[in-house]
Amino acid sequence: MEMEEYNERALVEVANDEDGPNRAWYAAIIVTPVGNKRYLIQYTTMRTDDNSGFFGKVMDTLHIRPRPPDIEVPDQFVMLDQVDAFYKGGWWKGVIIKVLSDDSKYHVYLATHEEMEFKHSELRLHQDWIDGKWTKPSPGMVGLGGSDSRSYLPLFDILLLAGD
């Protein structure tokens, strides 16, 4: 698999190993290449403990991807839409399992096996970065693993969760 190369100031998303296979993707910017397919990045959503600036870190290309393209977000999401939910400064993969009565809040079953409530503004349609291209997930199976994982949950199981 060929690794991406990034220019200085490129807008990217990065994943941390600490989050495990169900990791979140965090907005960042490439500061400079440091050699051997590694880059100094600066997070744009995670501030230092003293709040004086944003965290920086050296990361390899396995943990970096371009930011997904902007795609039109529907006025409202529907059951089983695959989404990314903005939580703790990062984008976490999940699926809509309940639309609340006011149509602007949703229960999302995250890849971390947690169910949480999110506002419409905290969600985006999920896209996968596969072989250097952004793709929309296939209907019928809901992938809840990390971007480089192939862990899927059958829709039947999602529907059971929605009935709780």
pLDDT in tens, 93-143: 999 999 997 768 999 999 988 999 999 999 999 999 998 999 988 765 555
Position 108 scores a pLDDT of 96
Of the residues 21, 41, 66, which one is the last residue of a structural domain?
A: 66
What is the count of structural domains for the chain?
A: 2
pLDDT tens per residue, range 8-24: 999 999 998 776 667 89
The sign of the CA dihedral 108, 111, 115, 118 is: negative
**Residues 52 and 87 both lie in one domain:** no
Query: Which pTM does this prediction carry?
Result: 0.80
**Residues 104 and 157 both lie in one domain:** yes
**Residue 149 pLDDT class (50, 70, 90 cuts):** very low
Rounded CA-CA distance 24/117 in Å is 17
pLDDT tens per residue, range 79-99: 999 999 999 999 999 999 999
In a domain, 119, yes or no: yes
**Residues 88 and 145 both lie in one domain:** yes
Q: What are phi and psi of 78, to 5 degrees?
A: -125, 165
Please check whether residue 144 is in contact with residue 152, taking contact to mean a CB–CB distance below 8 angstroms: yes
What value does the mean pLDDT of the chain take? 83
**Residues 111 and 61 both lie in one domain:** no
Domain that holds residue 108: 82-162
Which tokens sit at 146?
């990390």
